[in-house]
């Protein structure tokens, strides 16, 4: 079956969403968005903001690129300022800041290693200094290092994957919660890997499963304060994580194994984050939204 080629954009500027990709690999993680070909699509011009996040401040980890960049842009369209936490991808971060500022909102760049125990304190201090409040926390930073077997996963890899993918979520959330008020929201990026699993991502899938359980338990704990906690589980999405972690050959057909026979683009995730961050999601807590081209239907 041929994939249906989707289009996005306006009638005057209509572009095709790519189905296959030129082979490419980046020898570093985090990967760099500006080095990707084609560039990921992080903004849908047909998405018009209506002030759903007016006067809100969002902390977005991994906000420089990929899914995080699309979230920052959609949040800006809805009126939110953002704090973008990332490891060291300066050029990507500056491009995201520019995109946010073009939409009339502010963006603070914080290159901070989330593996550092003091990272959470620094992020909060800088956020409060710049914006005076925190309303939305998007825990979204992540790494993945595919290996052919469990024996190949070293202690060092295991520690890095757990440290970035779940321990940093835990530490930052613990530090942010005292500043949140009724109506505020926490959103955690998990993965289809928490549900479908993959033989090459055993440690990564384990952290993503932990994020789902973290989300549910915390949602119970914070419901009485009016703070909602949810997760998004993306399927294969065209972001720097892909060429940075898979071989050049593998990325060519990213997403071909989904029922929709293509990968998703970052802009296709953003509206789900807006839903969970805004009043539109006021009766949703402890849940995971699956944005995965139907992948878990077949797994």
| Residues at the contact surface with ligand NAD, assessed by CB under 6 A | 30-31, 61-62, 64-68, 85-87, 89, 113-115, 140-143, 164, 189, 191, 234, 236-237, 239-242
State both tokens at 124: 């909060």
Specify whether the CB–CB gap between 80 and 136 falls below 8 A: yes
Q: How far is the CB of 201 from Mg ion (least distance, A)?
A: 19
Q: Which is nearer to Mg ion, 177 or 241 (CB)?
A: 241
Q: Judged by CB under 5 A, does residue 30 bind Mg ion?
A: yes
Q: Which does 237 bind (CB under 5 to 8 A by kind): Mg ion, ligand NAD, none?
A: ligand NAD
β-pairing, 7-9 vs 14-16, is: antiparallel
The residue from 8, 204, 267, 273 that is catalytic is: 204
Q: Tokens 């006067």 appear where?
A: 55
Binding of Mg ion at residue 184 (CB under 5 A)?
Answer: no
Min dist CB 55 to ligand NAD, Å, is 26
| Closer residue to ligand NAD, CB minimum distance, 285 or 295 | 295
CA gap 224, 235 in Å, rounded: 32
* Smallest distance, Mg ion to C-beta of residue 246, A: 16
CA atoms within 13 A on the CB side of 150: 4
Q: Helices 270-277 and 66-77 sit at what angle, rounded to 10 degrees?
A: 50
Active site residue 47: no
Helix (H) or strand (E) holding 61: strand 57-61
If the CB atoms of residues 53 and 112 are measured against ligand NAD, the closer one turns out to be 112
By CB under 5 A, residue 65 contacts Mg ion: yes
Q: How far is the CB of 131 from ligand NAD (least distance, A)?
A: 20
User: What is the Cα 144 distance to its own chain's centre?
Assistant: 14
| Short-list 53, 45, 90, CA closest to 72 | 53
Residue 255 interacts with which of ligand NAD, Mg ion, none, CB < 5 to 8 Å by class: none
Residue 64 in contact with Mg ion, rule: CB under 5 A = yes
Going by their DSSP bridges, the two strands 14-16 and 57-61 should be labelled as unpaired
DSSP assignment, residue 60?
A: E
Applying CB under 5 A, does 43 fall inside the site for Mg ion?
no
Nearer to Mg ion, 180 or 254 (CB): 254
Rounded to a whole number of angstroms, the minimum distance from the CB of residue 271 to ligand NAD is: 16
Q: Is 89 in the site for Mg ion (CB under 5 A)?
A: yes
Binding flag, residue 234, Mg ion (CB under 5 A): no
Burial classification of residue 132, based on how many CB atoms lie within 10 Å of its CB (0-12 exposed, 13-18 middle, 19 or more buried): exposed
Closest approach, Cβ 208 to ligand NAD, in A, equals: 7
User: What does DSSP assign to residue 2?
Assistant: P
Q: Residue length, the chain?
A: 299
Closest CA to 243 of 5, 43, 65, 16: 65
The residue among 167 and 226 lying less far from ligand NAD, judged by its C-beta, is 167
Size of the site for Mg ion (CB under 5 A): 4
Q: Which H or E run contains 107?
A: strand 107-111
Nearer to Mg ion, 163 or 286 (CB): 163
Binding site for Mg ion (CB under 5 A): 30, 64-65, 89
User: Which positions are annotated as active-site residues?
Assistant: 204
């Amino acid at each position: 079956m041929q994939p249906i080629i989707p289009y996005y954009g306006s009638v005057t500027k209509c572009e095709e969403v790519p189905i296959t990709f030129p082979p490419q690999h980046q020898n570093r993680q985090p990967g760099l968005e500006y080095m990707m070909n084609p560039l990921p699509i992080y903004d849908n011009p047909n998405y018009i903001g209506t002030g759903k996040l007016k006067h809100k401040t969002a902390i977005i980890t991994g906000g420089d690129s990929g899914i995080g960049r699309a979230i920052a842009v959609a949040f800006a369209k809805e009126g939110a300022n953002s704090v973008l936490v990332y490891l060291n991808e300066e050029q990507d971060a500056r491009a995201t800041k520019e995109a946010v500022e073009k939409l009339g909102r502010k963006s603070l760049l914080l290159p901070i290693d989330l593996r550092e125990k003091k990272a959470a304190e620094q992020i909060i201090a800088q956020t409060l200094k710049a914006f005076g409040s925190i309303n939305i926390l998007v825990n979204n930073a992540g790494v993945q290092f595919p290996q052919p077997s469990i024996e190949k996963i070293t202690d060092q890899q295991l520690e890095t994957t757990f440290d970035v993918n779940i321990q940093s979520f835990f530490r930052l959330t613990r530090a942010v919660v005292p500043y949140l008020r009724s109506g505020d929201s926490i959103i955690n990026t998990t993965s289809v890997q928490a549900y479908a699993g993959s033989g090459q991502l055993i440690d990564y899938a384990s952290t993503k499963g932990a994020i789902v359980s973290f989300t549910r338990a915390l949602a119970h704990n914070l419901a009485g304060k009016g703070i909602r906690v949810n997760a998004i589980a993306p399927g294969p999405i065209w972001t720097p994580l892909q060429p940075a972690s898979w071989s050049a050959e593998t990325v060519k057909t990213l997403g071909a194994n989904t029922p929709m026979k293509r990968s998703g683009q970052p802009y296709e995730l953003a509206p789900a984050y807006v839903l969970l961050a805004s009043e539109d999601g006021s009766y949703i807590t402890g849940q995971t939204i699956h944005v995965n081209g139907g992948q878990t239907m077949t797994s």
